[in-house]
Amino acid sequence: MITRLVMMLCLLAIGTRASAQEPYNLSAPVANLATLFHDLFGVHGLIVDSEATLPGEQPHTAHFNSDFQFNFSKFQIALVSQLVTVPLPSPASGFTYEFDPTTGVFRRTTQGFGPILAERAETIGNHRVSFGFATQRFTFDTAEGIDLSSVPAVFTHDNAQLLGGRQDVVTTTNSIRSSVNQFVTYVTVGITDHLDVSMAFPVVATHMTAVSEATIQRLGTTNELTHFYRQSDGSIGNERVFTATGDASGIGDVVVRVKTSVLTKPSTGVAAGVDVRVPSGDALNLLGTGAPGVQPFAVLSGTIQRVSPHINVGYQWNGSSLLAGDPATGRASDFPDQFNYVVGADLNAGRLTVALDVLGRYLFDAERLGFEEFHALDGKSVFPNVTFSTQSFNLLNGSLGAKINAIGRVLLDVNVLFALDNHGVRDKVTPLLGFEYSF
C-alpha cells in the first residue's frame, strides 16, 4: 500500500497542464490557471478584435476590454485567493507520550486520539514520531452566496456617456466550476517531552472550467454590423458561448510547525507554537499561494471525564503574491492577513474518538463579491451584474469526524467539513479520509 501511495504522489507531482477548449474553433490558449479569466474575457477571448469576436466597422478590442480589466481582475482575486488557502489537516499525533522516570518507560498522556482539523496542547513525546496521510476534495459551489454556475457580468463600452453606439453592452452569464484535490503527507517528531516539530507536504490537483454565454445588447445601435459575433458557419449574430478549462497538479505550499507545551496539568494544558508556510507551490497554476506566511498560535485544551474540549487561536501574516495582484501583468500585492480560531471538543469512546469543531477565519481587507442591478444608459434596460468591494469578513465552517484505532498504533481518520455561512468562496461539504501511525 505504501508503494502505491508513493507512486500516486509522484504522478501527481509531475508538472502542470493548462488548456483551453472553445466552441467554434476560437483560439484562446490558457497560459496558466491564474490567468484563466483574463484569457477567457480578455484580448484573446470574449472581448477581442478578430474575425470571431466583436468585430465591426472599426476595431473594438480596447473599447470593451478596459471594463473587463477593472471588473474581472477583482473577481479573479476574490476567487483564487481562497482556492489556494484551503485548510490542512492537523499534524497533531493521535498518540501522545511522556517519559515516566519512576518506571523508566513511556506512558500515554491522553486517552482520546484528539481532533482532526485542530490542535490540542499535548505534545507527542521525546523521540516519538508520528506519520500520517490525508486526502480532501474541495468542490466550490458559491461565492458570497452567488451560485458559481450562474454568475452575471455586464461589460460596458468605453466612453459610454457619449451615447450612440457606445450605449451597447455585452451581458454574460458565467458558469465557473473549480475543484481542489489535496493529498497531504505529514510527520511529527518529538524533540523533547514538551517540544514538537511537524512538517506537512501537500500535493495538489486543481481543475477550473469557465463557460461564458455572451449576448450583445444593441441599446444604441440598430445596425448589426456595428458590434457582432461571427458564428462557425460564417454568419453573424449577437450571441456566442466561450469556454476555457485548465488542470494543474504538483507540490503545494509546505508548512513547518513548531509547538511547545507551556503548561501541563492532569486535566489542563496550554501550548504555543508557530506555523511557517513556504511558497513552494506553483502560484500561477493555483497550487500554492506564492507568498510566505507566518502564523503564531496558542492552544488551550483539557479533559473532563471522556470529553476533551480545546480552543485554538492564531494570526496569519502573509507576504506579497501575484495572486493578490494581477498575474497577467506580473503585479504583486499583499495577500490578506487572517485571524484563525477553533472551538471544539472530542469524545473518547475507547478505540473511537469523535471530534466536533467550529473553525473560523477572519480575513482582513479581502476582495468580496456582491450583486446589483445594472441600469443601462437607454433609461429602460436593467441587467443583473456582480460588484466588487474590499472588506474584512468572517468565514465559519463546521467539522465532524472520527478517529478509529484500527490496529496497534494505526488510526483511520474520517471527517466532513461543512460551511456555516455564505461568506467568501465556499464548498458546501468537504470529505476527508486519512490514516496515522505513531512509533
> Which residue in the block uniquely carries the three cell numbers 524533540?
191
The pLDDT score that the predictor gives to residue 371 is 84
**Rounded Cα distance, 117 and 201, in Å:** 16
CB 74 within 8 A of CB 81: no
CB 18 within 8 A of CB 35: no
101's grid cell: 522516570
CB 359 within 8 A of CB 397: yes
**H helix or E strand, kind and range, residue 118:** none
**H helix or E strand, kind and range, residue 46:** none
Q: What is the mean pLDDT of residues 227-241?
A: 77
317 or 166, which is more confident? Answer: 317
CB 112 within 8 A of CB 133: no
Provide the H-helix boundaries in 194-238. none
Q: Which residues pair with 274 in a beta bridge?
A: 258, 296
* CA-closest candidate to residue 280, choices 201, 343, 357, 336: 201
The pLDDT score that the predictor gives to residue 70 is 54
**76-115: per-residue pLDDT in tens?**
666 666 666 666 677 666 555 555 556 555 555 566 788 8
CB 117 within 8 A of CB 89: yes
**35-74: per-residue pLDDT in tens?**
777 777 765 556 544 444 454 444 444 455 545 545 555 6
254's grid cell: 509546505
380 or 315, which is more confident? Answer: 315
CB 383 within 8 A of CB 371: no
Distance spanning both ends of the chain, measured CA to CA: 19
CB 120 within 8 A of CB 196: no
The residue ranges of every structural domain in the chain are 2-438
The pLDDT score that the predictor gives to residue 107 is 54
Biggest alpha carbon–alpha carbon distance for the chain: 94
CB 229 within 8 A of CB 53: yes
The pLDDT score that the predictor gives to residue 295 is 94
The model's pTM: 0.82
* CA-closest candidate to residue 155, choices 82, 210, 262, 73: 73
> Which of helix, strand or coil describes residue 361?
strand
Residue 11 confidence (pLDDT) above 60 = no
Q: What is the mean pLDDT of residues 279-290?
A: 88
> Which of helix, strand or coil describes residue 336?
coil
Residues in the chain, total? 439
291's grid cell: 507568498
CA 385 to chain centre: 24
262's grid cell: 507551556
Which stretch of 158-167, 311-320, 321-330 has the lowest confidence by average pLDDT? 158-167
Residue 196 confidence (pLDDT) above 60 = yes
Beta pairing, strands 410-419 & 352-375: unpaired
* CA-closest candidate to residue 210, choices 170, 173, 250: 173
> Which of helix, strand or coil describes residue 226?
coil
Q: Which amino acid is at 92?
A: A
Residue 391 confidence (pLDDT) above 80 = yes
The pLDDT score that the predictor gives to residue 364 is 92
At the topology level, CATH places domain 2-438 in Porin (2.40.160)
**Rounded Cα distance, 368 and 366, in Å:** 6
